[in-house]
Structure 1
Amino acid sequence: MANTDEVAIERRRGDAGWWRQATVYQIYPRSFADANGDGVGDLEGILSRIDHLDQLGVDAVWLSPFYPSALADGGYDVDDYRDVSPELGDLATFDRLVTALHERGIKVIVDIVPNHSSNRHRLFQDALAAAPGSPERDRYLFRDGTGPRGAEPPSDWNSFFGGPAWTRVPDGQWYLHLFTAEQPDWNWHHPDVRADFLRTLRFWGDRGVDGFRVDVAHLLAKDLPAELPSWAELTRGTDPADPAPPRYPAGHHPLWDRDELDEIYAQWRAVFDSYSPPLTAVAEAWVPAERRVRYASKQNLGQAFTFDLLETPWDAGSFHQIIRDNLALAAKSGTSSTWVFSNHDVVRHATRFGLPKGMSGRRWLLEGADPALEDRVTGLRRARAATLLAMALPGSMYLYQGEELGLPEVGDIPADRRQDPTYFRSKGTDLGRDGARVALPWTSTGVSFGFGGCAPPLPQPTWFADFSVERQRDDPASTLSFYRHALRLRRELIQDETLEWLNLGPDLVGFRRGGGWTAVTNFGSRPRPLPAGDVLLLSGEPLDAPGLLPADTTAWLRRDSLRS
């Protein structure tokens, strides 16, 4: 008979639908673990920490970009989509990492960045060397300028990182980049672009990758008319505070969320389905909910991120509505929901949930990230409660490295140590995303808290010692122990994707899952009665009194308790 570990590994391998209720752990490679001591996380560092991932109990890892890059945008400016940055390793090391993860029953998802390349990519260099109007230049989005001698940009469009969205090249033309100038946008009408990305998908699929996370999946297709509209026209109606109707009907915006994306991703789906089991994909698509179902359909990418919980306040009604809406959308598209509270682009939820009422993580950054505004005790208690609530839901759970340690955001990074282009292009008015990308603390001492042999570029605060893996590993009350326990129970409890809502009154969100277990979260400020049942797991302190669930706490219950 197979032992318990072998059974757990086999269960995590799953089948073609393994992703539907999987727990996926995002690794930002440059800040996860540094094996060669140069201050940069690398693939060998991930290999050295596989025991951590295995003991945590995740079903898959998602690797943020590890490709050759000048790091104008944290690796999302890709020089070569089919190679590994020399700082991080090589393809042989990548292959060993995939094999090692698969031996533990852990799937591998890699980031793909199809909206833009690096300005160092060979095809962009070919475009610069070719004449205006050439096929080489047409792989990107070049336009003539306006004004005398074309010295002004083709339009007044803005980059999402601040500053203009056009950069001029020596022969006088301008190219479009919706992010940094080092990230020229591809022209997805060009057959060479489409064919090259299909080769990239097959390249990684042939190396054993199980799926892809698709960066800004809603931006690829663009339709630039001869007379370019103003930025005000393009963005009309996109701000919730703007009462004006959108300038363009859904699916026909010149720059984003165009209907022709369906054709592009149908080609990708054909590649995915040529593998057995089929490769999976999840779209990062910042679009209205009713449009998100397109990306999540079986003919398209198959799943799309639900970002609503990245922005919602700590409120029972808000959580309940978001969950109901997204479960309905998943059913409509035939997929499963995704639940995520933190990633490399947002303020960590242990900080967000501890900010004053009405203050978002983004507003906190824009106002200087004052640590005095953080209530870390409340923030962590609510973060654990929110996570345990989401882990009980039908769908896949996405975790971001360090959240299993309860890491707060690092808000006070010195200006001369920051790296995020958002900070520089906004002239410092937006502190950007560096605070979520600081290297992890593995030990409580040392120059880098066990991350590597020297201090990493983004400085780690002294208080990281209190959150280290070393300090939490053997503490049954630690956040790390809580995550391990929760994920182990989750694998034991989940049987299907059914959910039955419970009407428990104000401040409580509760539901019953198939197999007879129940999850209840108290969003209120005082203890509330629990439904009958044995408590399997609590997100926080033990019950103040029998049958009363403390504030800011989630409980999992069952009448006949499982072994845990």
Structure 2
Amino acid sequence: MSRPWWQDAVIYQIYPRSFADSDGDGIGDLPGIIERLPYLRSLGVDALWISPFFRSPMVDFGYDISDHTAVDPIFGTDADAQALIDAAHAHGLRILVDIVLPHTSDQHPWFRDAAACRDAPTRDFYVWRDGHLDGGPPNNWAAGFPAGTSAWTWHAGTAQWYLHSHLPQEPDLDWSNPAVRAAQLDVVRFWLDRGVDGVRLDSINRLGKDPAYRDNVAGERSRQQDWPTLHAYLREVRALVDRYPDAVAVGEVWEFDQRRIVPYLAPDELHLAHNFVFARSRFDAAEIRRTVEEFTGMAGPGTWPAWFLGNHDEPRRVTRWSAPRDDDETREARGRLAAMLLLTLRGTPFLYQGEELGLPDTELPEGVGEDGNGRDPQRTPMPWAPPSTAGPGAGFTTGEPWLPVGGTAERLNVTTELQDPGSVLALYRTLLALRRARPSLRAGSQAFLDAPPDVLAYVRADGGERTLVILNFAATTRRIDIGTPALLLLVSTGDAACSGSPIVMGPFSGVVLEAVAS
């Protein structure tokens, strides 16, 4: 029986606003992505997850959707979306679109109708409630952002409160309503019919809420997300996705206890779930091992993990995993180690645009930025060429970029790194090619080995092929005796002596080795 394509794939996230601008307006667009498909193919990734490009007021930069089936003009046209799907397939790349099922924009026709009067046809598409006896919101639920604000907003026109798990401009849909489920399934169907290869489902744990809308109680399970009712809803989504051969459903499961993540990966629910426990791991070998072993132990052998270390909402891992006194060389070494970890673990890795260049968060001047939740530093434009030759847009745009590209763009950009065999980009290309060439790295079993403190070591095995990965998270040299006399070095992130055992590894270095039969 053949394996699903997504188990062997490396999936690359594109934040379209910041990837490539084709028309010089300073904002990335779909034609810009099409122009860069040859780069993505040569990088060695297999599929593209594209953040929302649908019609939107852009209060939440596209995650507040006013029409799920139309392309917002800042990103192009409906024809451009089809052209992107077709061009990606011609390059051997699959496409996943990012669909928000739990909420819409307050400018969506459904909500505009619902807010017109209490007996509007789509009134019960959303959650409306009278206030508490004290005149305040119906309960104590809090919005995801802005932090510390209520999840309820008073609507004077109809004299009721409406629920929003995120911004007030993003009212929650009521998924207990069959009409809502049918309407949102139509959205998923629309894009699958257009030929996409799967869907990434944003904030999917927000589908299920306590139907009694009781207060949250400190120390108890949240009543405003991850409520058991959502699993029935997810089964409906999965049943639809399964009607399309090879299509995949990936979920953003915003939970920080892996016991909460595993149920979403039931055989009839999500294929893959983003794991934020792993993504927020410290730069610590023991913690990473515990996290991976805990997840795989709870999930069982039939569940396929998905690993990531950065996305459009999370600080870039080069920044997050660096120490305050690190110099550029040390930060880069930590980033190289992260690349080797992510691309050799058992599971499907997700990369975020610019990760392959070793980009850190961009240090923005005071007062520069558009996101009220502080996520601009990881969303700055992709640098394609040095600003000294390409101008301030660094090859991203011929105009003024919507956010500055940052001070590292002169050194960390695609053009420069493609010409340097020792660059971070060169390492990613090597690791991606190695993963594609070695069945043990794609499909093999995984077993951790005993290792010195601050060292992570594991074997990936498939048939007679054994691949050994050793990662030194220490700031000092480590000697590792793994008891295998004959080893062949496949790739190294830096200073390592690997002709035999013991292996001598420099600070923050990693190696991938083949165990050679004697």
Aligned to 1:483, what secondary structure does the other structure show?
Answer: helix
The number of equivalent residue pairs is 500
Residue 47 (1) aligns with residue 43 (2)? no
Sort the Cα spacing of 1:153 and 1:203 in 2 relative to 1 into closer, same or farther, 3 A.
same
Cα distance, 1:310–1:107 mapped onto 2, change above 3 Å: same
Q: 1:69 aligns with which of 56, 61, 82?
A: 56
Aligned to 2:369: 418
Residue 456 of structure 1 corresponds to which residue in structure 2? 401
Task: Determine which of 147, 168, 171 is the counterpart of 1:184.
Answer: 171
Partner of 2:238, secondary structure, is helix
Give the letter for the 2:348 counterpart: S
Task: Give the SS at the match of 1:219.
Answer: helix
* Among 486, 493, 497, the residue aligned to 2:438: 493
Instruction: Return the offset for 1:379.
Output: 2.4
1:412-491 to structure 2, matched below 5 A, reads 412-415=364-367, 417-422=368-373, 432-445=374-387, 446-491=391-436
The answer as to whether partners of 1:19 and 1:280 remain within 8 angstroms in 2 is no
Q: 1:540 aligns with which of 490, 494, 497?
A: 494
- 1:134 CA drift (Å): 4.8
Q: Which residue of structure 1 aligns with residue 479 of structure 2?
A: 529
Q: CA deviation at 1:284?
A: 2.9
The 2-side partners of 1:103 and 1:541 are apart by: 40
Residue in 2 aligned with 1:558?
514
C-alpha displacement of 1:168 = 2.0
Q: Which has the higher strand share?
A: 2
Report the counterpart of residue 7 of structure 1 in structure 2.
none
User: Structure 1 residue 194 and structure 2 residue 181: aligned?
Assistant: yes
1:342 to 2:329 alignment: no
Residue equivalent to 2:319? 351
Deviations for 1:380-412, whole angstroms, at most 9, x for unmatched residues? 211211220221111001100001000000133
Task: Give 1:187 deviation, angstroms.
Answer: 0.7
Q: Does 1:78 align with 2:78?
A: no
- 1:291 CA drift (Å): 2.3
Instruction: Assess, with a 3 A threshold, how the Cα gap between structure 1 residues 137 and 16 changes in structure 2: closer, same or farther.
Output: farther
The alignment's TM-score, normalised by the length of structure 1, stands at: 0.84
Q: Which residues of structure 1 form unaligned runs of 5+?
A: 1-13, 238-245, 357-372, 423-431
Query: Deviation per CA, 1:291-339, whole angstroms, max 9, x where unpaired?
Result: 211111221112211222322222121111112112223426x221111
RMSD value, Cα: 2.1
Which one-letter code corresponds to 1:523 in the other structure? F
Measure how far apart 1:482 and its partner are.
Answer: 0.7
- Shift in Å at residue 539 of structure 1? 1.6
Q: Matches of 1:463 and 1:410 in 2, distance apart?
A: 8
| Change in 2 beyond 3 A, CA 1:542/1:500 | closer
What are structure 2's unaligned runs of at least 5 residues?
A: none
The amino acid across from 1:299 in the alignment is D
Match of 2:445, as an amino acid? T
Distance 1:375 1:144, change over 3 A: farther
1:106 to 88, 93, 101: 93
Determine what percentage of the aligned residue pairs are the same residue: 35
What whole-Å deviation, never above 9, does each CA across 1:55-94 have from its counterpart, x for those lacking one?
1100111001111111111211001111111110122111
Instruction: Give the letter aligned to residue 450 of structure 1.
Output: G
The residue that corresponds to 1:292 in the other structure is 261
| C-alpha deviation, 1:488, in angstroms | 0.3
Correspondent of 1:520 among 470, 493, 510? 470
Q: TM-score, normalised by structure 2?
A: 0.92
Amino acid at match of 1:465: E
Q: State whether residues 392 and 519 of structure 1, in contact with CA within 8 Å, keep that contact through their aligned partners in structure 2.
A: yes
SS in 2 for 1:100: helix
The one-letter code matched in structure 1 to 2:359 is: L
1:528 Cα shift? 2.1
> In the alignment, residue 244 of structure 2 is paired with which amino acid?
Y
User: Which position in structure 1 is the counterpart of 2:143?
Assistant: 159
Deviation at 1:178, TM superposition (A): 1.5
